[in-house]
Amino acid sequence: MGYGVVLVSGKTLKLLSFGVIHLSKIKDHPDKLKRIFERVDQLILEYKPDVMAIEAPFFGKNVQSMLKLGRAQGVSIAAALNRNIPFEEYAPKKIKQSITGSGNASKEQVAAMLMRLLNMKEMPKYLDATDGLAAAVCHHFQGGIGLHNKTKSGTWKAFMGDNPDRVK
């Protein structure tokens, strides 16, 4: 499972950390969930983020895989909520589109664009790491408007008032 931490200062993005939570050596699924919760909690304590962005569940053919992924996302969200960190979800296609301009971009294309955006020197060993980083960068690019927060104040009237230059 990938993660990424960015610092936003105005319109400037700075990469603080990214990586993966290695789970392959853990046999039992509940132990994997515990490891995810503990590592996300550790990252929150270390970096003290204002918000967490996460990739929303997607629909696939393998129901068991979807269930396991949903549980992993759930414990990640629980770790954030446990520390009073708000979270926002973004659909996988929205993340790819936000980073590369195409909702059908490959992991390699997303990683390459993140390398340019964040001045990274080499391609990461694990592309799952750039998946987590992409969610963080997407959150910045989307202005915090994801699946839970369609507009910052919740109404079209408020959106139009806040963005007169975008209304014709």
**What's the mean pLDDT in 112-122?**
94
Cβ atoms 90, 56 nearer than 8 A:
yes
CB atoms within 10 A of CB 141: 16
Residue 55 assigned to a binding site: yes
Active site residue 128: yes
Non-local (6+) Cβ contacts of 79 within 8 A are 36, 37, 40, 41, 44
Report which of 40, 47, 46 is spatially closest to residue 81, judged by C-alpha positions.
40
First to last CA, the chain: 42
How far apart, in Å, are the Cα atoms of 44 and each of 68, 77, 127?
Answer: 23, 11, 22
* pLDDT of 153 strictly over 90: no
pLDDT tens across 34-92, in order? 999 999 999 999 999 999 999 987 777 788 888 888 999 999 999 999 999 999 999 99
Q: At residue 151, what is the residue type?
A: T
| pLDDT on residue 113 | 96
Non-local (6+) Cβ contacts of 117 within 8 A are 13, 99, 137
Identified catalytic residue from 88, 89, 128, 131: 128
**What's the mean pLDDT in 102-111?**
95
* pLDDT of 6 strictly over 80: yes
| pLDDT on residue 162 | 61
Identified catalytic residue from 55, 88, 89, 131: 55
Residue 128 assigned to a binding site: yes
| pLDDT on residue 156 | 57
Active site residue 55: yes
Which of 14-28, 105-119, 137-151 has the least mean pLDDT? 137-151
For the 2-166 domain, the top CATH level (class) is alpha beta
pTM over 0.95: no
Residue count (the chain):
168
**129 vs 4: CA distance, rounded Å:** 7
